[in-house]
């Protein structure tokens, strides 16, 4: 987290889980960054990330995605995947963040 902070990056997660579920996950995983709840998938839909019936019990979830957004709100880098097991690694995102002007 210190390396991200030094690079001017502030990680934030968004999930369709309820705030209570997200809080529990963060506690178990040791996440210290903001983990936002979007149970109606409003933001997730805006980014065209909704995976209809993709979760347990056919619950709608978000497709895995990572974004680097600058201070003006401009998306500077994206990583999308259809496979929840395939995600950008922290060192990859950090390298991209450091390379941005």
The average pLDDT across 5-9 equals 82
Domains and CATH numbers, the chain: 2-99 (3.40.30.10)
* Nearest by Cα to 41 from 16, 12, 13, 20: 16
Q: What is the pLDDT of residues 28-58, one digit of tens each?
A: 999 998 989 999 999 999 989 999 998 889 9
What string of DSSP letters covers 1-65?
-HHHHHTT----EEESS-HHHHHHHHHHHT--S-EEE-TT-HHHHHTT-EETT-SGGG--EEPPE
Max Cα separation, the chain?
Answer: 44
pLDDT at position 101 is 78
Rounded to two decimals, what is the model's pTM? 0.74
Query: Among all chains, which residue has been given the structure tokens 């995947």?
Result: 81
pLDDT at position 4 is 82
Q: Are 19 and 37 in contact (CB under 8 A)?
A: yes
């Amino acid at each position: 987290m210190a390396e991200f902070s030094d690079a001017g990056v502030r990680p934030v997660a968004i999930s369709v889980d309820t705030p209570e579920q997200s809080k529990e996950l963060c506690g178990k995983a040791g996440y210290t960054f903001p983990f936002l709840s979007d149970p109606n998938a409003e933001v997730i839909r805006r980014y065209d990330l909704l995976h209809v019936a993709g979760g347990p019990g056919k619950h709608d979830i978000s497709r895995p995605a990572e974004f680097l957004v600058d201070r003006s709100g401009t998306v500077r880098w994206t990583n999308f995947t259809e496979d929840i097991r395939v995600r950008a690694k922290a060192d990859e995102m950090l390298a991209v963040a450091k390379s941005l002007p």
